[in-house]
Amino acid sequence: MTRLVIKVGSHVLTENGVIATTRMMALVELIAELKEHHYDVILVSSGAVSVGYTQLALDRSIMANKQALAAIGQPLLLSMYQEHFSRFNLLCSQILFRADVFDSKKHIEHARNAIDTLLEHNVVPIINENDTVSIEELTFGDNDKLSAHVAYHFDAELLVILSDIDAFYDKDPNKHDDAKRRAIVNVIQEDELNADHTPNNEFATGGIVTKLEAADFLMRHERKMFLASGFNLDDVKSFLIDNKHKGGTLFQS
Ligand code: ADP
């Protein structure tokens, strides 16, 4: 079995403030298919705050409101996953982490034992940050860093990030028509990691820097990361199931 972590961000999972059901179903179907191809999959899923907002329209710019929305949305998010996974006769499970779980060997060990047990019984672990008691989600970039730590500490060979962008480019493709896809990245330059998240910085806007940080962390720990589109899963399917690298970026040292 090859152990994978798949991370899906809230831009992929939600549309106009509600869960993008078709995309969620496609993701669940992909995971079911991967399990048929001898992959063990751990899912890291954002989306709790957005789902909470569909039930109670609190002002999301206020931290306490965001955390309340996460508390409302997380169980609903999981019940949607449960419903979709049940169509494939798969059980799923919820694990909520505070970012400091990775500071303690004991916590990591307990979490690893639970995850190993779930995977042994063919249950899909679905991990999210415990937004109600954390402050990191705002700075950690929509779970990119969390998913890198999950991949490293829970022995996955590869982290797959399903994003609103289909690959890493030499500059922001949403602003530059001549941006070129980088198929394979072996090293991430210091200036790429330190680039400011400002709108007029031609290289780094959006959440790409947190993805590069995740990739850098994994490459330094002899792991790989694959960045591909979460809107269209063809590239990730080709890569994982047919062993063909058509689109997406592979980060590998
Ligand atoms: P997600 O919500 O899927 O986690 P983000 O929207 O936070 O992803 O980050 C991806 C965005 O980063 C892209 O939509 C793109 O506009 C921007 N971006 C900036 N620079 C680059 C680059 N060099 N390559 C790819 N995307 C980039």
Distance 206 CA to ligand 1 centre (A): 5
Distance 7 CA to ligand 1 centre (A): 14
> Which domain does 100 fall in, by range?
2-251
User: Terminal CA-to-CA distance of the chain, rounded, Å?
Assistant: 22
C-alpha 15/C-alpha 54 separation (Å) is 11
List per-residue pLDDT tens for the chain, 253 residues long.
999 999 998 889 988 878 899 999 999 999 999 999 999 999 999 889 889 999 999 998 898 998 999 999 999 999 999 999 999 999 999 999 987 888 899 999 999 999 999 999 999 999 998 877 776 554 555 689 899 999 999 999 999 999 999 999 998 898 899 999 999 999 998 877 776 554 444 444 458 888 999 999 999 999 999 999 999 999 999 999 999 999 999 999 9
User: Quick one: tokens of 44?
Assistant: 């890291």
Ligand 1, atom 16, residue with closest C-alpha:
174
Distance 163 CA to ligand 1 centre (A): 8
Please tell me the total count of domains within the chain. Answer: 1
User: Quick one: tokens of 190?
Assistant: 């210091």
Q: How far is CA 167 from the centre of its chain?
A: 14
What was the pLDDT predicted at 196?
A: 58
Ligand 1, atom 11, residue with closest C-alpha:
206
What was the pLDDT predicted at 201?
A: 43
Q: How many CB atoms lie within 10 A of CB 122?
A: 11
pTM of the model: 0.93
CB 204 less than 6 A from any atom of ligand 1: yes
C-alpha 214/C-alpha 43 separation (Å) is 16
C-alpha 140/C-alpha 131 separation (Å) is 12
Counted residue by residue, the chain has a size of 253
170-193 residues labelled b (16+ CB within 10 A) or e (exposed): eebbeeeeebeeeeebeebeeebe
CB 225 less than 6 A from any atom of ligand 1: no
Bridge partners for 159 per DSSP = 5, 225
What lies within 8 Å, CB to CB, of 142 at 6+ separation is 9, 10, 11, 46, 207, 210
Q: What is the CA radius of gyration of the chain?
A: 17
Query: Pick from 68, 76, 58, 63: which is nearest to 14 by CA?
Result: 76
C-alpha 230/C-alpha 46 separation (Å) is 13
CATH number of the domain enclosing 36: 3.40.1160.10
Give the number of the atom of ligand 1 that is nearest the alpha carbon of residue 142.
4
Beta carbons of 165 and 196 less than 8 angstroms apart: no
C-alpha 106/C-alpha 3 separation (Å) is 22
CB 249 less than 6 A from any atom of ligand 1: no
